[in-house]
Structure 1
C-alpha cells in the first residue's frame, strides 16, 4: 500500500504542478511563465517527487512508465493494474483540486471547443497549433519512447543513480519544450485522462490517442533497451 500511496501522491503533484502552471501562471500578461515555464514545471514535479517517494514505489507517476519498465524487465506484470489505478486516482484528485481553485475566479469556465481547454491534450482543431492526428500520434510515441530510454538508462544498476531524478526531470522538460504546440504534451495517460474528464466534449473523445501512443512508445522503448542497450555482461 505504501507503494500505491507514493504513486498517488507523485501523480497528484505532477498534474497539480504541471497543469496548474499552465492554468494559473502561463498566460498572465507581462508576468506569465509561458510554454517554457510550463515545461520546466512539469520537469520539476517529476524531479522533486523522484527524490521524495521514488525510493518507495520506483517513481513512475505515469501508466506509460509502468508499462515501459515492465517491458524492460524492471517491473512485475502483477503490479501494473494497481499502479495504474493509483496513478489515475491521483491525477483525477489533482484535476479536481485545480478545478475548485480555478472556478474561484469570476468568469472562468471551461470552453471545450477550444484547444488546450483546462490544460487538456488534443489533435487537429484541438492541437494548440493545429497539428493532425498522425503528427500527434508520432510525437507522443517518439517522445515517450525516448523518455523511457532516459528512465531505463538513468536507473540502470550500472548508472550513477544519484542523478537519475535530475536526468528524468530534465528529459520531461525537454519533451514539453518540443511538444506543447503539437498536443499540449501528454506522454502520460493519467495526466491526459484527468484533464479530459473535467473538460468533456471533443478533448475527452480524443483521449484514446494519449493512452495508445505513449503506452506503445514506452513498451517499444522497454524492449529496445533490454535487447539492444542494456549491458548484460558487466560484472
Structure 2
C-alpha cells in the first residue's frame, strides 16, 4: 500500500507541475507561447507518461474523481479510497508549491489566477456557474468512461495510457475556455491555494461536479457494459 500511495503522490505532483506549469509558464510566453492547444497536450502527456511509469504500481489514478469512479465501477477497493485521495491532494499541492517557487523567481511575475479553475468572473470565457457545472460533470463522466473502457480486460492490451492521455487532451481542448478545465479535484485544490483570486470560494464546484460525473460513469459502465465487477 505504501508504494501505491507514493506513486499516486508523485504522479499527481507531475500532473500539476507539468499540466498547470505549461499554463502558467509557457501558455502566453512572449513571442511564441504554446496557447490552449499546448496546455491541453501537456495535461494529456502528464497522464500518458505516468500511466506507463506507475500504472503497474498504483493504477495511476492521479485524481480523486477517478478513484471514486473506479470504486463505483467495482474496479477499485473501497478501503483504499481515502488514502488514495489524501495522497493525490498532497501530491497536487506539492506540485503547485514547486511551480510557485519557480514562477516567483521572475521579478515581474504576477500570480493572478495561477491556472486555477473558476466560473463567472473566474472563467476564462466568462461562462456561468451552471455552464461550468454541466461541463465538469459531463467531461469527467466521459473521462471515466474512457478510463474504465480502455482498461477493461477485453480492451486491446497496452494502449490504455494512449487513449486516456488523448482523452484528457481532448477534454482540455473543449473546456479550457469554460472552467480552465478541472475534472480533477486534487488539481483544482492545489492551484486554488496559491491563486490571488477568490478561487478557493468556488472550489466546491470542482469537487462536487467531477465526483458526480465519475459516479455516473461508474454506474453506466458497470450496469451496461461490464460483465461483472472485478473487486468489491
TM over 0.5: yes
Q: In structure 2, how many angstroms separate the alpha carbons of the residues matched to 1:219 and 1:231? A: 18
Q: Determine the structure 1 residue equivalent to 2:216.
A: 220
Q: Determine the structure 2 residue equivalent to 1:20.
A: 21
Q: In structure 1, how many angstroms separate the alpha carbons of the residues matched to 2:150 and 2:225? A: 12
Q: Determine the structure 1 residue equivalent to 2:111.
A: 110
1:34-74 Cα deviation digits (max 9, x unpaired): 00000000000000000000100011000000000000000
Q: In structure 2, how many angstroms separate the alpha carbons of the residues matched to 1:207 and 1:83? A: 20
**Correspondent of 2:154 among 154, 158, 161:** 158
Within-5 A mapping of 1:136-155: 136-155=132-151
Count of residue pairs the alignment pairs up = 227
1:72-101 Cα deviation digits (max 9, x unpaired): 000111111000000001000000000000
Secondary structure of 2:114 counterpart: helix
Q: Determine the structure 2 residue equivalent to 1:181.
A: 177
Q: Determine the structure 2 residue equivalent to 1:133.
A: 129
CA RMSD, aligned part only? 0.9
Q: Determine the structure 1 residue equivalent to 2:6.
A: 5
Once the two structures are TM-superposed, the CA of residue 200 in structure 1 deviates from its matched residue by 5.0
TM-score, normalised to structure 2, is: 0.96
Q: Determine the structure 2 residue equivalent to 1:68.
A: 69
Q: In structure 1, how many angstroms separate the alpha carbons of the residues matched to 2:30 and 2:89? A: 33
Q: In structure 2, how many angstroms separate the alpha carbons of the residues matched to 1:94 and 1:88? A: 10
Q: In structure 2, how many angstroms separate the alpha carbons of the residues matched to 1:172 and 1:18? A: 11
Structure 2, unmatched stretches of 5+, are none
1:87-133 Cα deviation digits (max 9, x unpaired): 0010000000000000000122323xxxxx10000000100000000
- Is residue 44–residue 165 contact of structure 2 (8 Å, CA) maintained in 1? yes
- Is residue 114–residue 196 contact of structure 2 (8 Å, CA) maintained in 1? no
Q: Are positions 1:167 and 2:168 aligned together? A: no
Q: In structure 2, how many angstroms separate the alpha carbons of the residues matched to 1:222 and 1:200? A: 35
1:180-199 Cα deviation digits (max 9, x unpaired): 00000000000000000111
Choose 201-210 or 58-67, whichever is displaced more.
201-210
